[in-house]
Structure 1
Amino acid sequence: MNFNSVIKIFLPKDRVFYQLFEQVTDVLVQMGLLLQEAVDATAGDKRSELFKQIEHLEHVNDDLTHKIFVELGQNFITPFDREDIHYLASTLDDVADFIHGAAKRLQLYKITQPHYSISKLAGLICEAVAELKKGVHELRNMKNLRNITDACVRINSLENHADDVYDSAVADLFENERDAVTVIKKREILQSLETATDKCEDAANVLESIIIKYA
């Protein structure tokens, strides 16, 4: 068996990482859209159903992340550095965790009239995970590196915007909300949402690191 034949045996196995990462970002986009819909929903039963769907997708994401780590342990050949694969999987998983965490707090704290900034942050998360999906789906061929870079720049901008929205929202809560318990509840939800955008930026930073190394 010549060298080229050996390479053909191994190369297809590394493609599984692209597929798994693409599936993860597909799930994140679904979670973001469901969160936005839940935040803006007025009927309690509708919101409860949306929260259940988000929880289910969080479990789906956990399974996909686990598969990435299993493949990382079993595959000799990987499409890029093992450390980058691990970090990208971890940061994407963090995004899912904080989206789910925000949804869970909305449900447990029985926030029926969310602060307007909660909806704004949910919208920013939707935009950020959509950009992550664009960037991750470009990794497979590495032909349109500008698209990955543009997605990362957009995510950084969205995270900065989320910081501003969060700061203004917390200031507004302290200024206008008289019930201390409500302030604490809404601040925790806002913090989970803002942290989700931080994790999107972390994932974008990994994408930038990958394309710098392999461009």
Structure 2
Amino acid sequence: MSGINSFFKIFTPKNVKFYDLFEQVADNVVTMSKELCLLVKETDADKRKTRVVEIERLEHVCDDISHTTFTELSRNFITPFDREDIHALTTALDDVADYIYSSAKKINYYRLNPNEEGIHKLANLIASGCEQLRNAVYGLRHMKELHVITEAIVKMNAFENEADDVFDLSIDRLFELEHDFKQLIKRRELYQTMETATDKCEDAGNVIESIIIKYA
């Protein structure tokens, strides 16, 4: 009997492990987004650097978790949902972390003063999108309350649309008021990177939406 049990254990999907990994990344991404909000409101340059270091650390943690997920994917014959979907969601979550870190890094390397309304709004929209992304990721474990996942996805899309508007207005204001060409390029890159972070939240939401359509 014990031999039969051991046989079936080989083919038992390690659902819990994959869900744990997704949720760990989602938690880290939320923490990164909150750090970014604190970073852009920090007036002291040295303290901003400390925030950037912490965001970098968290981004490396996300990379490690993503690597673990891909390793588990190669080891497990049976998975909670399609292998392609697991790969796509892992990549999408990692992309969100990458663009949050890239935003923080640009502020640091370009020595930008982020005390500006457009940057603050984009940081808040990134944080709001990440919160909803975490809600959607946590909803995947049981898929019993689909409305929680779908509402989170709708809100992510709304935040991304709002970020588009903030980006357009910020660029328009930048070209109107900034006369230093180097500063103009640096700030435009920062706006673009931050707006892309909200795009990546939406992309991750789209992956989750495709998963629940298949399996809910």
Please report how far the alpha carbon of residue 162 of structure 1 lies from its aligned counterpart in structure 2 after TM superposition: 0.4
* Residue ranges of structure 1 left out of the alignment (5+ in a row): none
Whichever residue aligns with residue 205 of structure 1, its letter is N
The equivalences for 1:146-185 within 5 A come to 146-185=147-186
Q: Is the 8 A contact 1:35 1:122 kept in 2?
A: yes
Distance in 2, Cα, partners of 1:197 & 1:3? 49
CA gap of 1:113–1:195, structure 2 versus 1, over 3 A, is: closer
- Residue deviations 1:96-134 (CA, integer Å, cap 9, x gap): 111000100000011124432111100000000000101
For residues 172 and 199 of structure 2, the distance between their equivalents in structure 1, rounded to whole angstroms, comes to 20
- Provide the C-alpha distance between the structure 1 equivalents of 2:84 and 2:3, rounded to a whole number of angstroms: 31
Aligned partner of 1:74: which letter?
R
Q: Percent identity?
A: 53
* Matched-pair contact (CA < 8 Å) for 1:114–1:186: no
Query: Aligned to 1:54, what secondary structure does the other structure show?
Result: helix
**Corresponding residue number in structure 2 for 1:115:** 116
Instruction: Quote the residue 1:72 is aligned against.
Output: 73
Which residue of 2 is the match for residue 42 of structure 1? 43
Correspondence 1:5-84 to 2 at 5 A? 6-11=7-12, 13-84=14-85
Match of 2:126 in 1: 125
User: Normalising by the residue count of structure 2, what TM-score does the alignment of the two structures yield?
Assistant: 0.95
Shift of 1:7: 4.5
Query: Is residue 87–residue 206 contact of structure 1 (8 Å, CA) maintained in 2?
Result: yes
Helix, strand or coil at the partner of 2:12? helix
- Give the whole-Å Cα distance in 1 for the aligned partners of 2:209 and 2:114: 39
TM-score in terms of structure 1 length: 0.95
Between Structure 1 and Structure 2, how many residues are aligned? Answer: 215
Alignment RMSD: 1.6
Instruction: State the distance in 2 between where 1:11 and 1:38 align.
Output: 44
Deviation at 1:158, TM superposition (A): 0.4
Q: Quick check: 1:202 aligned with 2:206?
A: no
**Equivalent pair of 2:37/2:120 in contact (CA under 8 Å):** yes
Structure 2 gaps of 5+ residues are none
CA distance in 2, matches of 1:38, 1:188: 17
Deviation at 1:3, TM superposition (A): 7.7
